[in-house]
Structure 1
Amino acid sequence: MNKELSIIVSFDNKYPLMNNFIEHLLKVTFEIDHEIILVSDGCNDFQTLSYIEQREKEVDNLFLYKLKEKKGYSIANNVGVKKSKGKYLLFINTDVFPQRGSIELLLNCLKKHHEIGAVQGLLLYPQNMRVQSTGHVFSDYMNHHLYNGRHSTEICVKTSAKRQALTTAFCMIPKEIFTSIGPFNEFYYNAYDGMELTLNINLNGYKCYYLAETIAFHSTGGTRKFVEYNNEYQSKYFYSHLGLKVKNDLVHYLKEQINSIPIKNNYFVINCSFANQWHTILKLLNIPYSNFCDIDDKNTNCIDLYHNLTYLFLTDSTPLLFIVDHFNHLSQNMNWFQIRNNPDDIIIDYHGNCIRPYYWFIK
């Protein structure tokens, strides 16, 4: 018997996470005509499998399928789709916990807008309620989760919009579109798979869409615990096959934010990033600057400005523009920014974030 929605879940988890995920999911999906398809990706945790087998007996619309050996995210999800009977497919990781009503919002979005081929919600870190993902942002041979680390109340986060590609950690796709454009590329093991699928949906004329009012909490790292497995290899494969089709949209997202804040003349640029493309990005952003200085402690997750900048930078009134891989790499410098006390300073990063440290770290 056909269903409206098939929820596809590949897993290889310990019992506590799986127990939390299943019990939470059962409580937020009961208003939809749906099925839950669980695909064991070679899971050998006895307690996890015993628990799911028991829940399969108790829940009419829950089904378990087992792969004897670990095959990876793509293969496991493709198996789940083959077993599915739903008109729409929701792919969800076992470390994602949707809020009540969020799955219905994704479904209604696809029903109402047939031009949308894939939709994801706002993913937040449960630890600090900040953004984990609003879709992907691309720069030269790199991709990141857009607005990662931002507050969920900020305008850029609260605005639903098109994306080039999405994360399938919490993503809904009409089965008809998945069948015609997919499946997941089984070359990939545990990375780039969902991004490539949704990018291909976009390249085939459908919209990939971020739906801001749909919220789920993503306790990252619990599902794809083997994500480092040949990750560099997968990255090279992705960009060798699709690199020329990916648009560099980092400037687009940064410019949207820069246009809404007062830009000063003659910034002094402090480069805390490993990449060498920032001169081009600054030119495209039309940000005027007179000096460009590289710090020594690049490629660290915790940059100490006292160790890298002289006292002159604390007292000079020239506005500073910090370039960093992620703005949180400067988050341990609250005292430094308090002493400097300059609301005109800006930080931009590869996640499409443009923030003013005076308001972010101080106010």
Structure 2
Amino acid sequence: MAVDIVVVNWNSRELLEQCVESIVRFGNEQLGKIVVVDNHSSDHSLDFLSQYPDVALVKQTKNVGFAKACNIGAQQCEADYLLFLNPDAALFANTLESVIDFMEHQENQQIGICGVKLLDENNHVARSCSRTASPTGLFFHSIGLDRPWPKLGQAMREWDHLNNQNVDQVIGAFYFVRKSLFNKLSGFDERFFVYYEEVDFAYRAQQQGYSSYYLADVSAYHLGGGTSDQVKANRLFYSLRSRLQYAYKHFGFVQASFVALASLTFEPVVRSLKALLRGDIQSMKETTLAYKKLLLWGVGSTSE
């Protein structure tokens, strides 16, 4: 059994180089193709790839978004498994071998998606798994109640992520998928430019009888933030937009509109008050800009 790895890059520079280097260094005989899909970077972040002639590079003439770029990369792949790896992530020794061995066990054949324990630069374990998005969970997130009471929201921050278990969703930074399932679901929904594409994929996989699994026995590196930290206002805009797109796709009009109302009324106030209490004027400006972009996009477009 083999795995092909797809890395989507947008102005990642040193991060991408460290990511590819880790794949080349720790990839074993089970590693198939390495595909880098570049979303029209402008920072010369691809220059180092001349050192790695076996890496397949697919250049886009514009930023087509994360979901679409992943699908484009997957079209180049033929292995039994796909790993979508963020540029701000990296492999450790035995990461690939351990996940493949786990997925190959007979009792795990209905596990379609696998994530691993993600460690940051300080060796801290990221709280990276989530519950299936729900109208109430997104509402509590919008008004900030999932911070003091994580069980009310989507992110599983109350769990230390130190044990193996079935979960509803693993983070897209390290997204290990059966290629047969990816083909069956026609890949990621490209309406999600970035964010929620893995949430949507995991939910659709559940509907087909496949589960997601978090494997704490296996580790990988993840910086967190990464490329999206370059444009925080845009990051918030795309996160909000994808949330509304997901809601209108899966919740029905009434419940989705409930989520939209909370996202557009309560949440900007909560975000701005938090930034004000911190004295963070820049965050207030970024929040205002993100919501301006969201309103210009238009709530009426959420079902597109």
Alignment correspondent of 1:317:
none
- Is 1:145 aligned to residue 155 of structure 2? yes
Alignment correspondent of 2:120:
125
Equivalent residue for 1:231, pick from 225, 228, 239: 239
* Structure 1 residue 301 displacement after superposition: 8.0
Equivalent residue for 1:114, pick from 109, 117, 124: 109
Equivalent residue for 1:204, pick from 192, 208, 228: 208
| 8 Å CA contact retained: 1:165, 1:202 | no
Alignment correspondent of 1:81:
74
Amino acid at match of 2:80: K
Alignment correspondent of 1:261:
none
Paired with 2:272 and 2:58, the residues of 1 have a C-alpha distance of 46
Q: Which aligned pairs between 1:35-54 and structure 2 lie closer than 5 A?
A: 35-46=33-44, 48-52=45-49, 54=50
Amino acid at match of 1:64: L
Structure 2 spans left out of the alignment, 5+ residues: 139-152, 253-265, 279-304
Q: Deviations over 1:254-297 (max 9, x none)?
A: xxxxxxxxxxxxxxxxxxxx89xxxxxxxxxxxxxxxxxxxx99
| 8 Å CA contact retained: 1:141, 1:239 | no
Equivalent residue for 2:274, pick from 300, 303, 317: 300
Paired with 1:166 and 1:133, the residues of 2 have a C-alpha distance of 6
Paired with 1:44 and 1:176, the residues of 2 have a C-alpha distance of 34
Give the alignment's TM-score, normalised by structure 2.
Answer: 0.71
Q: Deviations over 1:201-233 (max 9, x none)?
A: 112111111111111221111133453343222
Structure 1 spans left out of the alignment, 5+ residues: 245-273, 276-295, 305-363
- Using a 3 Å threshold, how does the CA distance of structure 1 residues 17 and 180 change in structure 2: closer, same or farther? same
Alignment correspondent of 1:334:
none
Amino acid at match of 2:89: V
Please report the RMSD computed on the Cα atoms of aligned residues, expressed in angstroms: 2.8
Equivalent residue for 2:198, pick from 194, 198, 202: 194
- Is 1:169 aligned to residue 173 of structure 2? yes
Give the alignment's TM-score, normalised by structure 1.
Answer: 0.60
| 8 Å CA contact retained: 2:195, 2:238 | no
Paired with 1:102 and 1:85, the residues of 2 have a C-alpha distance of 20
| 8 Å CA contact retained: 1:90, 1:172 | yes
| 8 Å CA contact retained: 2:88, 2:222 | yes
Q: Which aligned pairs between 1:279-298 and structure 2 lie closer than 5 A?
A: none
Max Rg structure = 1
Alignment correspondent of 1:218:
222
- Using a 3 Å threshold, how does the CA distance of structure 1 residues 93 and 297 change in structure 2: closer, same or farther? closer
Q: Deviations over 1:60-83 (max 9, x none)?
A: 3x2111011001101100000111
